[in-house]
Amino acid sequence: GAGVSQSPSNKVTEKGKDVELRCDPISGHTALYWYRQSLGQGLEFLIYFQGNSAPDKSGLPSDRFSAERTGGSVSTLTIQRTQQEDSAVYLCASSLGSNTGELFFGEGSRLTVL
C-alpha cells in the first residue's frame, strides 16, 4: 500500500494477556516510530528505529513493552501482561530519516484492556 499500515485496528483484551501490534511502514522509509495516545491526550514517544536498530528505547513505559523491526521494514510492538492503563491508541509513523523527512502516520491500533 501507499501509506503506513497498522494492524489490528482495534483490539480488546483481558488484563494479563499479551498483545502484539504490527506496523508496515512506507516502502523505503528507514525511520519508524511508535507513539501512544491516550484519550484526549497528546502523543507519547515510545521508541524509534533507524533501520533495524533502536537508538532510543527511553520512552517504553516498562519492561512489559518491547518492540522489534526486521528487514528494515515491518515492526511489532509487544505488550506483555497488559494492564488497564495500557489502554490507548498506538500510532506508528515512518519517514525517510533525513532532516527534512516528514512523519507519515498510520491510522493507529486502538487497544482496550478490560
Q: Give CA separation, 13 vs 34, 41, 46, 110, in Å.
A: 20, 22, 21, 11
In the set 42, 71, 84, 85, which binds another protein (CB under 8 A)?
Answer: 42
Residue 34 CB, shortest distance to another protein, in Å, is 12
Cβ closer to another protein: 75 or 95? 95
Residue with cell 532532516: 99
Is residue 8 a contact partner of residue 110, using CB atoms and an 8 Å limit? no
Does position 90 bind another protein by CB under 8 A? Answer: no
Does position 87 bind another protein by CB under 8 A? Answer: no
Q: How many angstroms separate the CA atoms of 72 and 87, rounded?
A: 28
Which residues would be at the binding site for another protein (CB under 8 A)? 31, 33, 35, 41-45, 48, 50, 55-56, 91, 95, 97-108
